[in-house]
C-alpha cells in the first residue's frame, strides 16, 4: 500500500497521511442490504472500493435445476424483489419462446401494464431511498405513500405485494381483478400530481444538485465496457433499452421515448429515472383503456418439457437488462439456468466511478446505481 505524502507541507515537516480501511457494511444504512464495501480511504477521499458479495447468496440458479419450469418463476421473485413482476415475465417468455407458445394478446397487454407498474414502484422506492441517502429523510415517506397504491393494485390482482408470482408459463395465474382498471386510472391521476412534487422537493434543491452533479461520472465507453445497463448506462448516453430494441409482450404497440442523458453523473442517472417514470406512466395510459378481451392463459401441459437446446430471453427490469438463459436437455427440469442480473454489472463499475470522491459522494453514487443486493448475489 503506497502512502501519499501531503504536498503542501514544508520539507522539514514529517507529517504523512496514511490510508486506512473501513468496512462499509454488511450492516450499513447506505448499502441497502447485506453488501460489504471495503473502502480504502485517505482522510475523506476514497482511494479504492472493493465490493464483497455473497452475504445473501441463496444459489437460486442451482435451485432452478431441480425445479420444474413453473416453479422457477417464483424463485425469480426473490432476485430483484423490486421488479419481481418483470423477472417472472422474463422466465415465462423464455419458456414460451422455447415451446413456441403464442400467448393471447390480453396477457401481453396485462403483462406490460404490470411490468411498467413494477418499474414505477421500483423507481418510487429508489427515489425515496435516494433522498434518504443524501440526507433528506422525508422523501422516503412520500415515495412510499405513492408506492402503496401500486402495491394495493398488485395485492388485489396478484395476491401479494412484493413477490407476486402472477405470471405463469402460458399466461397469467388468474384474470385481472375487476377493480384493476379503475385502480390503475386512479393511481395515474394521483401520481401525475405527485411526480412534479418530487421535483420541487428534491430535484430542484440546490443542496441535492451540488451533491449529485459532477459526482461519479461514467463515460459512455466505460458504461459499455463494464456491461452497464438500464438507467445507469442510459445516463451515460448509451442507448440500450431492451424495451426499445427487442420489444417483448405488448411493448411494440406503444410509443415511448427512451430516457437518455449524456452527462453520466449521479444527477443524470437521477433525472433519467425521473423521466422513465413519466414514460412508464404514458405506456400504462396508452394500454389501460384497451385491454383486449380474451383468455388469461393458454393451456400448457401440467409437466412442461422444453425441447433440447439453449434459450435466451432478455427484458428490461427497473435496474437494467435481465437475461434468462436456459439450457434444456428435454427433461422437465432445466439442465442449467443462468440469470444475467443487471445489479452485478452495474455494481462492478462502482470502484471505477467512486474513486477520488468523498464518502458522501460514494453514498450518493451508490444510491443512483440503485443496487438491490439479492439481485447481485442471487
Question: Interface with another protein includes 6 (CB under 8 A)?
Answer: no
Q: Which is nearer to another protein, 155 or 186 (CB)?
A: 155
Question: Interface with another protein includes 359 (CB under 8 A)?
Answer: yes
Cell of 129: 431511498
Q: Which is nearer to another protein, 6 or 22 (CB)?
A: 22
- Give the angle subtended at the CA of 37 by the CAs of 35 and 41, to the nearest 5°: 160
Interface segment toward another protein; rule CB under 8 A; list 71-79, 216-224, 248-256, 279-287: 71-79
Q: Which is nearer to another protein, 41 or 94 (CB)?
A: 41
Question: Interface with another protein includes 67 (CB under 8 A)?
Answer: yes
Question: Interface with another protein includes 338 (CB under 8 A)?
Answer: no
Among positions 13, 18, 29, 252, the unique one binding another protein when judged by CB under 8 A: 29
Site for another protein in 151-170 (CB under 8 A): 152, 155-160, 163, 165, 168
State the nearest-atom distance from the C-beta of 95 to another protein, in Å. 14
Beta strands in the chain (DSSP E): 20-24, 36-42, 45-52, 167-168, 171-172, 309-316, 321-328, 336-340
Site for another protein in 222-281 (CB under 8 A): none
DSSP state of 293: P
Please state, in angstroms and rounded to a whole number, the distance separating the CA atoms of residues 341 and 318.
11
Q: Which is nearer to another protein, 234 or 273 (CB)?
A: 273
DSSP state of 200: I
Query: CB of 368 within 8 A of CB of 266?
Result: yes
How many C-beta atoms surround the C-beta of residue 373 within 10 A?
23
How many C-beta atoms surround the C-beta of residue 204 within 10 A?
10
Please state, in angstroms and rounded to a whole number, the distance separating the CA atoms of residues 106 and 176.
10
Question: Interface with another protein includes 65 (CB under 8 A)?
Answer: no
Question: Interface with another protein includes 365 (CB under 8 A)?
Answer: no
x/- mask, another protein, residues 294-333, rule CB under 8 A, reads --------x-------------------------------
Cell of 183: 385502480
Please state, in angstroms and rounded to a whole number, the distance separating the CA atoms of residues 113 and 297.
16
Among positions 96, 116, 133, 321, the unique one binding another protein when judged by CB under 8 A: 133
DSSP state of 202: I
Question: Interface with another protein includes 135 (CB under 8 A)?
Answer: yes
Please state, in angstroms and rounded to a whole number, the distance separating the CA atoms of residues 151 and 161.
5
Cell of 90: 422474463
Site for another protein in 202-231 (CB under 8 A): 202, 204-208, 210-211
Query: CB of 21 within 8 A of CB of 1?
Result: no
Q: Which is nearer to another protein, 21 or 245 (CB)?
A: 21
Helix/strand/coil (H, E, C) string of 210-229?
Answer: HHHCCCCCCCHHHHHHCCCC
Tell me the sheet residues that pair with 49: 39
Q: Which is nearer to another protein, 133 or 316 (CB)?
A: 133
State the nearest-atom distance from the C-beta of 142 to another protein, in Å. 7
Question: Interface with another protein includes 200 (CB under 8 A)?
Answer: yes
Contact residues toward another protein (CB under 8 A) are 20, 22, 28-30, 44, 67, 70-71, 74-75, 77, 131-138, 140-142, 145, 148, 152, 155-160, 163, 165, 168, 173-174, 177, 197, 200-202, 204-208, 210-211, 302, 358-361, 363
Amino acid at each position: 500500500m503506497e502512502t501519499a505524502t501531503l504536498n503542501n507541507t514544508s520539507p522539514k515537516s514529517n507529517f504523512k497521511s496514511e490510508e486506512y480501511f473501513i468496512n462499509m457494511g454488511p450492516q450499513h444504512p447506505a448499502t441497502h442490504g447485506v453488501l460489504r464495501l471495503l473502502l480504502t480511504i485517505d482522510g475523506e477521499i476514497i482511494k479504492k472500493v472493493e465490493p464483497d458479495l455473497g452475504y445473501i447468496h441463496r444459489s437460486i440458479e442451482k435451485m432452478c435445476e431441480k425445479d420444474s419450469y413453473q416453479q422457477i418463476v417464483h424463485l425469480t421473485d426473490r432476485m430483484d424483489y423490486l421488479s419481481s413482476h418483470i423477472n417472472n415475465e422474463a422466465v415465462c417468455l423464455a419458456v414460451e419462446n422455447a415451446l413456441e407458445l403464442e400467448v393471447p394478446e390480453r396477457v401481453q397487454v396485462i403483462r406490460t401494464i404490470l411490468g411498467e407498474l413494477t418499474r414505477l414502484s421500483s423507481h418510487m422506492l429508489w427515489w425515496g431511498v435516494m433522498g434518504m441517502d443524501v440526507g433528506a429523510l422525508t422523501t422516503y415517506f412520500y415515495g412510499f405513500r405513492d408506492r402503496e397504491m401500486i402495491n394495493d393494485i398488485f395485492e388485489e390482482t396478484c395476491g401479494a405485494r412484493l413477490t407476486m408470482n402472477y405470471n405463469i408459463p402460458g399466461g397469467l395465474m388468474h384474470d385481472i381483478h375487476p377493480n384493476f382498471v379503475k385502480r390503475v386510472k386512479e393511481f395515474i391521476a394521483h401520481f401525475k400530481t405527485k411526480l412534479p412534487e418530487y421535483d420541487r422537493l428534491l430535484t430542484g434543491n440546490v443542496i441535492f444538485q451540488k451533491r449529485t452533479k459532477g459526482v461519479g461520472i461514467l463515460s459512455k465507453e466505460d458504461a459499455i465496457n463494464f456491461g452497464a445497463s438500464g438507467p445507469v448506462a442510459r445516463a451515460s448516453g448509451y442507448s440500450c433499452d431492451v424495451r426499445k430494441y427487442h420489444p417483448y409482450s405488448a411493448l411494440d404497440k406503444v410509443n415511448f421515448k427512451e430516457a437518455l442523458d449524456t452527462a453520466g453523473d449521479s444527477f443524470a442517472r437521477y433525472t433519467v429515472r425521473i423521466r422513465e417514470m413519466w414514460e412508464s406512466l404514458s405506456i400504462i395510459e396508452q394500454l389501460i383503456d384497451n385491454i383486449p378481451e380474451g383468455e388469461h392463459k393458454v393451456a400448457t401441459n401440467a409437466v412442461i418439457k422444453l425441447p433440447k437446446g439453449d434459450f435466451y430471453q432478455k427484458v428490461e427490469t427497473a435496474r437494467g437488462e435481465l437475461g434468462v438463459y436456459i439450457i434444456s436437455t428435454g427433461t422437465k427440469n432445466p439442465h442449467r439456468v443462468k440469470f444475467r442480473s443487471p445489479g452485478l454489472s452495474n455494481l462492478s463499475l462502482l470502484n471505477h466511478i467512486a474513486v477520488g470522491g468523498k464518502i458522501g459522494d460514494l453514498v450518493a453514487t451508490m444510491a443512483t446505481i440503485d443496487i438491490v443486493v439479492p439481485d447481485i448475489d442471487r
